[in-house]
Structure 1
Amino acid sequence: MFASPPLPTVGFLGDLARFGEATAVIADGRRVTHRELAGAAADFAATLGPQRRLVLLAGRNDLASLTAYVGTLGAGHVPLLCDVRHLDRMREAYSPDTVVLDGVIVSQQPTPQHDLHPELALLLSTSGSTGSPKLVRLSQENLRSNAEAIASYLQLRPTDLAVTTLPPHYCYGLSVIHSHLHLGAAVLLNEHSVLDDAFWQAAQQHRITSFAGVPYTFDLLDRVGFADRIPASLRHVTQAGGRLQPERVAALARLGEQRGFDLVVMYGATEATARMAWLPPHRAAQAPDAIGVAIPGGTLRLESMPELGADVGELVYAGPNVMLGYAETPADLAAGRTVSELRTGDVARIGHDGLIRIVGRRSRFAKIFGLRIDLDEAERTLDAAGLPARCADGGERLVVALTGPLSAADRTRVVATAQQEWGLVPSAVRVVEVDAFPRLANDKVDYRALVAHAAQEPTGSTSDAEGPGLAERISRTFAEILGVEPQLTDTFVGLGGDSLSYVEASVRLEQLLGGLPPGWHTRSIEQLASTADPPIRRGRQVETSVLLRAVAIFAIVATHANLLTLLGGAHLLLGISGYNYIRFQPQGDTGARVRAHLTSVARVALPAIAWIGAVTLIAGTYPWRSVFLVNGILGPRGWSEPAWHFWFIEALVALLLGLCALTAVPWWRTAERRWPFWLPFLIACGALVTRYEIWEPRGGDDIHRAHMLLWIFAIGCSIARAEQRWQRLLVSALIIAVVPGFFENPAREAFLAAGLLLLIWVRTVRLPGWLATATATLASASLYVYLTHWQVYPWLEDRFPPLAVAASLAVGIGVAALAAAGGDATRRLLSRRSRRPAAPVARREPSPR
């Protein structure tokens, strides 16, 4: 049996106590100092014993896992970090002395069993994701030099705070932790997706200064509107883990210039402990296609490849962060340094500006969504699973080709294997069927031909041929409702969903998922598919806002048709409109948001103008001010029918246009980001100057004018932002305080207040299936019911009030269906025109610079 050498005095991250009371970690709202982290880590290390051990660590971005890792590493033991999914595989391959899961020791040998080289400090998988038993052996010097280099070129400060966006077993995610803790700075431990509101609430609350992402991270950020969520404290955004499109780099760099953060594009590999090159921020906008220059202390050179030309070569890196070598068996852990420089496998060119640009690969590896995939190993894995395949790098997708015929089950197994083995999302896998694998003249597989074949097949979900899977059905639902072609990473809001389309979407999703998860409209299609929970209770779940919308429009029509008297429905609809305005905020830059706002306004205003104008042309019913929705602004102050029939739509359009104008103002967007709850709440309070006749005395029919109703709309906005209990209590108190006395009609005031309070405290209700369908149908048609009922109920209200109501609702629902069909037809026509082949254009090769 091997006699383990004594532990080193202090390993990497073993001296954190020197930073004293400075914050080291924020986890679950708790701040842990460097001294406290060092003490907890030492306590954990004591449980490992005095002899040096190989410790298999599988954990997450939580305090217990981090403490175990820091304790293991700092005490001089050798941690082997892995994804929890690959714990058993690594245990079988390396027989670790100790196994730790989520910060807790789950097994431990009485005495160490491994011969560990004195320089060996850490073991990581070559990709951090595949679970391959081939590991990278890293030394204390590797870890220390790379952390110091990163801290140097990022100009990190002890006051910096990085949020974890990547798993700790992935070298990029681990390097963020290393570089900050080694300097005495702090990390905010997070396990939320960047799509979750909780992520951004924590980022704002704790004032993060650093954000790291792989290309897929930035794809997700596009869906939630990164520009609108950037904390004012953010100092730098770093990107690595794969190539980000140059136009995206340039756009992020320009955004950073506007918002005060640096974009730092980085290049690296686990074999280099993380980083090898970085692109100085001031050069990102001008050279977005470059990986930059070598990190401090390292050098990059090109090794000639005559077959590819004189100006390109394989990129080779040397520096103190180059690994000791690989390990494939436990015996390799005793080896010393076997590598002095790192051949990256990337083909590169050094430009006249001194910056390095990657132009291709010379080996069989791919980086997909920031994950490095060994394509040969992928083929072996699939073959072992009974799926003899050939795998190729399709750029943003892993192309998996199999000889046909393929069954739906085969395709499902390929996607499931890619998810389980390599952590790829379904949209990153392209399964194609071929008659035979194409071959080159030397009889090797022609992988370029496979990629070309995949590009020629119709795009879409990898499960297209296996029938409509859940994610595919959700995609089709969004496509039918919004008239778009969604990707699996898209969200309802990101696809342009708004308050007029969410009713149908929410009801149809509830049928598919068995329930609506919180914030469903900001979750990607993939995430929605993963929340499926077939209902075990009878009935269907409906959002309270949908139910209230249906109740309000029914109350309006029934009151006007003399079936009953239930006033306040239109005012409640205005509050619901404010609620939905916040929930379906368009994302993107200022121009994109303004355009999206104007589109939403047009979806209300244009049908109204068309209907009112048509009725006026035929029957001469309304004045021109009503046709153009300005009667409340230019008309007489007193109520007169029919000029005031459409006051609700006029007020809504005016308020939305006002907010659209504010959206274009930079300071408004900053205020929205910094004070998401307080901004609408304070607007609601400020708007009470008209509610209480402080600004001007009330006169005429002012309770139907936009400026008098802003407080109701703003309360609806506040409800959407009231995520915490104390916020909901505060908005509830405001409603109870200010609604009474507004109409001088207690029943009307009670109806409005009750509806708004329900919207705060009861987010969903469960209804019988038939009632849920009727509710959704009526709510989605509420605009058209409101528009058309004025021309329907007067014919029947005196003798048949119930029939007057039924006819009004039926006509409105019918017109809504016709409008939807017309919109679908228009989209199909535009789609066909957009697919017409364009005239060929000559391609011009770029001239050398």
Structure 2
Amino acid sequence: MSVIARAEERPALLFANGHALSYAELDSRMQRFADRLGGGKRLVAIAADLSEHVIVAYLGALRAGHAVAMLPPCDERLWDDFRDAFQPDFTYRQVDQRWRLVAETKPDAVGQPLHPDLALLLMTSGTSGAAKAVRLSCANLDSNARAIADYLKLSPSDRTALVLPLHYSYGLSVLHSHLVAGGSIFLPGMSVMDSAFARAIGESGCTNLSGVPYSYELMEKAGFRSAMPDGLRFMTVAGGRLGPDLIRLYRDHMHASGGQFFVMYGQTEATARIAFIPPDCLSDNEERIGIAIPGGSLDLVDDEGRRVVDAGVTGELVYRGPNVMMGYGERRADLARGAEVHELRTGDIGMRCEGGLFRIVGRKARFAKIAGLRIGFDIMEQALARHDIAAAVLGDDARLQVYVDDAALAETARHILVEASRLPANLISVSVRQNLPRLGSGKIDYARLAEEMLETRSRRQSEAHSLIEAFAAVFYPVPVGRNDSFVSLGGDSLRFLQLTLELDRLCLVLPEGWERMRLAELGARPEISRPPARGEAAPVPSDLLLRAFAIMMVVIHHQMLWPIPGGSGVMMLLVGFSLARFQSAHLLAGRFHHMLRSAGNVLIPYFLIVAAYAFVWRTMPWASLTLTGNFGYAEPERHEMIPYLYWFIEAYAQTLLVFSLIFALPVARSLAAKRLFAFSLALLGLAIAARFSMPLLVGQGKRQIFTLYWVFHICVFGWCAGLADTREKKLAVTGMAIAMLGYLGFGESLWIGTTMKYMSILAALLVLLYKPHLRLPAALSRFVTVIAASAFPIYLLHRFVPELLMTPAFDGLASPAFDIVAIAGGIAVGVSANRAISRLGSLSWILTARRWLAA
């Protein structure tokens, strides 16, 4: 490629460490490498690492007129097959961490000849063991590079960030087109998910960035758009189908900053690019591939080879242009042949749409391009068959779909296909199907499986949409996007319970650990499923069951004064558990606004109750207003505080304050970040010390049971339980709990109720540690969910029923009947209040849901 032979001092290649090569230096380095290869036309196989050495070697070999094979650097199987089939004259790769040019044939040996036009060999698939290569000429490379530079309007002032592999035609086309235009290439040397990636390409002066769909998915996950540098003139995507949602996001983002977003389509057999959508035509055309690149043409033909001219009629997409390959090669002898292909039958089924844009609607052959890799379905089935796994493999540009008939082999099949396809595991779905559908001939009915795949995906998309709606309703007015998670949105125990109700209403059951998954990932998970049928047992999170149990204990104890205290203690335990589960990451990062929002959900209704008492009493209960009534200096009888039963709300607020103050200290956050569980055990030790020492310093008599120092250690036990993710950690918490709670329940106790209280707390803690889920009949699990989700409203309102609403009926009801009605009524009032609040939030959310979902 003599077009890049420039003796200029402006930069050609730049690297993350600050090193740069000018065009003059690159030209000199290329010539030196070309001289090392000697005369004649040779085949040079290069390990296509994204590095200075490789770029110099590749361009130098082309400069000398040799043919170059760019191979994946770490695929030893492919390298062995390539050597056997094509007998390269030279290999250039790292040996003992040094780049070495190795002569594979003797200098005076005359191998099978190579065609004079042959310039580049690229493998058709990163998945197949067959060494089948695309043969490309210098004219192919030059014409495609110039066409790309033309429609992207590249100039010497353009600089790209090259993140695509160089054994991939798309990556090479980025290199070629910028060098042809006299631009420069920056090699960031890091993943697009790296937190410093956006800053690096901004500081390097990049004007554009190209990626495959998977690159954009990773960048979106890493928050690239929010950190995107201002200097990007355009971005491009090719190598598969990018979802319409992401196209719109990046199209709109680039448009807002004065840039452009190019959606492109190509195949290695056409050197790189075949078609693109002009950015001003992209709106509402996200499903199209666009128009042919400059110098090329697109057409459609039917099964008989006749040209399809009508819009909306499907046919195989055919491309003609100077960038169409010379042909395929399977062995060295094939490399002596000249150009044999004059039009490219792409294998894609497409149609011509209004405005002359083309659209892909399906595949003619059994392959798909996923994350930039062309995956052969038959090859994948053969890979599984070698491990005695009978399977049917199909898919599309989004993911690989595999059907196996044995559930025990599902994970093994996924592991094999990750190895064989080089795809990430999250792009491979494995489903169990007892009897694969067959045609009359006995062959697998792939058409029927494809329909099932599309139906399943459509159902999951509907479930994912419902999932986002549920999140948006629960978190209103906080905006919810597809890259948010329950934890990142600042979810807390109350919203967890509200969301549980929403999911139960939508009949959705989520996988373990869902609270930390992005909604986009969660909606695509195969594990999302329908709940058990009536009569079947359903798994219920143990903290949800304990919350329902605890609030029932509180209501019954307050009404009947039976010796069953402990409900408030279990609720305090759950406060700590929920803080660890949902807020620990925010506390470690010093983000306290999420905790303030959580507190508001409980304190706003509490202050409304305080205001009601103030209105009736004609005086302000300042102790309750300041959330300090549990300190023992005020009395409800003097209207200085509202009734004692609300001590838990005050202790809850004080607990959040203490955690915020602790993690507001940089030194505390630093220690916790290094060893969070050890830090938590130390915090538990301090809480236990406060439990025994504070009563000696501050005497409050019997009312000390309402103070924070009396119950804070229970909360910290819950916090430790939420962080205990190993057997050793769980045993450590168990040992400390048995010693502490056992002593309080038996050694310090003077009343049977106290013993029952601490044994209830200990039992609840052990359930949290060792039984994260408990199975209940479906109907009972729904009842438990409703009670647990309404726990705070029940706590706040349940005493209004016997003390206000039932006063006229007190004389007419026997004591047992009165108690039963009071307990049931208190629970019903709390459940009704919770539903009313949820409906009010849903009504508010509906007004803005369309805007949020679009975002």
TM-score tier, shorter chain, comes to 0.5 to 0.7
Which runs of no fewer than 5 residues in structure 2 stay unpaired?
461-469, 476-480, 494-515, 523-578, 615-619, 628-640, 643-648, 723-763, 769-783, 792-833, 840-855
Please show how residues 294-373 of structure 1 align to structure 2 within 5 Å.
294-305=292-303, 311-373=313-375
What residue number does 1:729 align with? none
Q: Tell me the residue number matched to 2:64.
A: 75
1:364 Cα deviation from its structure 2 partner = 1.3
Q: 1:525 to 1:70 in 2, by over 3 A?
A: farther
Aligned equivalents of 2:364, 2:680: Cα separation in 1 = 58
Q: Where does 1:488-503 land on structure 2 (aligned, <5 Å)?
A: 496-497=487-488
8 Å contact 1:127–1:373 — kept in the other structure? yes
> What letter is aligned with 1:331?
A
- 1:117-150 CA-partner distances (Å, limit 9, x unpaired): 1111000011355564111000101111111100
Measure how far apart 1:493 and its partner are: 6.3
Amino acid at match of 2:398: E
2:213 aligns with: 215
CA distance in 1, matches of 2:412, 2:333: 35
Q: Which residue of 2 aligns with 1:98?
A: 90
CA shift for structure 1 position 494 = 5.2
Q: Does 1:765 align with 2:674?
A: yes
Q: Which has the higher helix share?
A: 2
User: AA paired with 2:87?
Assistant: S
In 2, distance between residues paired with 1:206 and 1:131? 39
Letter of the structure 2 residue corresponding to residue 58 of structure 1: A
Please list the CA deviations of residues 777-805 of structure 1 after superposition, one character each: whole Å capped at 9, or x if unmatched.
899xx9xx9xxx99x97997337999977
CA contact (8 A) 2:7 2:27 kept: no
Alpha-carbon displacement from aligned partner over 1:678-703 (angstroms, at most 9, x marks no partner): xxxxxxxxxxxxxxxxxxxxxxxxxx
Letter in 2 for 1:159: S
Identify the residue that residue 6 of structure 2 maps to in structure 1: 17
Tell me, in whole angstroms, the C-alpha distance in 2 between the residues paired with 1:493 and 1:778.
Answer: 36
Answering whether residue 102 of structure 2 is matched by residue 107 of structure 1, we say: yes
Per the normalisation by structure 1, the TM-score is 0.60
- Name the CA distance, whole Å, in 1 between partners of 2:697 and 2:607: 21
| 405 and 413 in structure 1: CA distance in 2 versus 1, 3 angstrom threshold | closer
Asked if structure 2 preserves the Cα contact closer than 8 Å seen for 1:612 and 1:622, the reply is no
In the alignment, is residue 61 of structure 1 matched against residue 50 of structure 2?
Answer: yes
Q: Secondary structure at the match of 1:68?
A: helix
- Distance in 1, matches of 2:447 and 2:696, equals 71
Q: C-alpha separation between the residues in 2 aligned to 1:65 and 1:74?
A: 14
Residues 456-515 of structure 1, C-alpha deviations (whole Å, 9 max, x = no match): 779999xxxxxxxxxxxxxxxxx99xx99xxxxx9996554267879xxxxxxxxxxxxx
| Amino acid corresponding to residue 666 of structure 2 in structure 1 | L
Give the match for residue 232 of structure 1: 230
In structure 1, C-alpha distance between the alignment counterparts of 2:128 and 2:2, rounded to whole Å: 26
What do residues 189-247 of structure 1 show as CA deviations (whole Å, max 9, x unaligned)?
A: 13422221121221222132111122222222332333312110011111111122334
Q: Give TM-score, length-normalised by structure 2.
A: 0.60
Counterpart in 2 of 1:602? 597
- CA root-mean-square deviation: 5.1
1:505-558 Cα shifts (integer Å, max 9, x gaps): xxxxxxxxxxxxxxx9999999xxxxxxxxxxxxxxxxxxxxxxxxxxxxxxxx
Q: What SS does structure 2 have at the residue aligned with 1:415?
A: helix
The equivalences for 1:764-843 within 5 A come to 764-766=673-675, 771-774=678-681, 797-798=698-699, 806-810=709-713, 812-813=715-716, 826=789
Q: Distance in 2 between matches of 1:814 and 1:91?
A: 58
**1:405 and 2:406 aligned:** yes
Distance 2:228 2:521 in 1: 24
Q: In the TM superposition, what is the alpha-carbon distance from 1:71 to its structure 2 partner? A: 2.1
Match of 1:756 among 662, 666, 683: 666
User: Deviation at 1:97?
Assistant: 1.9
Whether the aligned pair in 2 keeps the contact of 1:192 and 1:199 (CA below 8 Å) is yes
Does the aligned pair in 2 maintain the 1:302–1:313 contact within 8 Å? yes
CA pair 207-303 structure 1, distance change in 2 beyond 3 A: same
Q: Which amino acid aligns with 1:291?
A: I
**How far apart, in 1, do the equivalents of 2:609 and 2:298 lie?**
72
The alpha-carbon deviation at position 279 of structure 1 amounts to: 0.5
Structure 1 equivalent of residue 35 of structure 2: 46
The 1:67/1:822 distance shift into structure 2, 3 A limit, reads farther
Distance 2:377 2:157 in 1: 42
Change (3 A) 1:522 1:361: closer
User: Is contact 1:125-1:131 (8 Å) kept?
Assistant: no
Q: Is the 8 A contact 2:590 2:663 kept in 1?
A: no
Structure 1 residue 264: Cα displacement? 0.6
**2:190 match:** 192
Look up the SS of the partner of 1:178 in the other structure.
helix
Residue 142 of structure 1 aligns with which residue? 140
Structure 1 match to 2:283 = 285
1:145 counterpart SS class: helix
3-state SS of 1:47 partner: helix
Cα offsets for 1:95-135 (capped at 9, x unmatched) = 32222225712632233634211111000011355564111
In the alignment, which residue of structure 2 is the partner of 1:162? 160
* Aligned equivalents of 1:824, 1:492: Cα separation in 2: 31
Instruction: Give the structure 2 partner of residue 379 of structure 1.
Output: 381
Q: 2:526 maps to which residue?
A: none
CA distance in 2, matches of 1:158, 1:523: 42
Aligned residue for 2:135, secondary structure, equals strand
Query: Rg larger in 1 or in 2?
Result: 2
Letter of the structure 1 residue corresponding to residue 140 of structure 2: N
Alpha carbons of structure 1 residues 441 and 523: separation in structure 2 relative to 1, 3 Å? closer
